[in-house]
């Protein structure tokens, strides 16, 4: 059973995941829905920045984890750093494709969870 400290981390990750997915929908609507196409790269950039900012958002809650949960702190930090690194690289290169495919992999099936959703699912099983 997860402690309240871990539940706080999971809650923050869920909030970030919800916003990340909402921004993807908004970007798609801008591109395919006849809206202003300049909105598309802005929404993708917001998604990338969200992943970059996640490290600092989780720093204090992660520092509150104790005992057996300390083992997963390193894993969470590595995953979040990987997410942030990919986002930062795509933002620096102004790579809309990279920003649009953050947290996904080649061969991903429709409806398959992204890496952030998989991380949340893993943490909820703890």
pLDDT of amino acid 69:
87
pLDDT of amino acid 113:
95
Q: Which helix (H) or strand (E) holds 14?
A: helix 4-32
pLDDT of amino acid 121:
96
Q: What is the mean pLDDT of the segment spanning 21-37?
A: 87
Q: In whole angstroms, give the CA distance from residue 33 to residue 45.
A: 19
Q: Is the pTM of this model over 0.85?
A: yes
């Amino acid at each position: 059973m997860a402690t309240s400290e871990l539940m706080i981390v999971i809650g923050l990750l869920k909030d970030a995941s919800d916003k990340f997915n909402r921004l993807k929908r908004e970007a798609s609507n801008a591109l395919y829905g006849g809206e202003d196409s300049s909105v598309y790269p802005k929404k993708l950039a917001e998604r990338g920045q969200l992943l970059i900012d996640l490290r600092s958002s989780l720093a204090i809650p992660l520092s509150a984890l104790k005992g057996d949960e300390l083992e997963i702190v390193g894993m969470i930090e590595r995953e979040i750093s990987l997410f942030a690194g990919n986002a930062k690289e795509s933002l620096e290169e102004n790579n809309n494709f990279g920003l649009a495919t953050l947290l996904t992999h080649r061969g991903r099936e429709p409806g398959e969870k992204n890496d952030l959703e998989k991380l949340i699912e893993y943490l909820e099983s703890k």
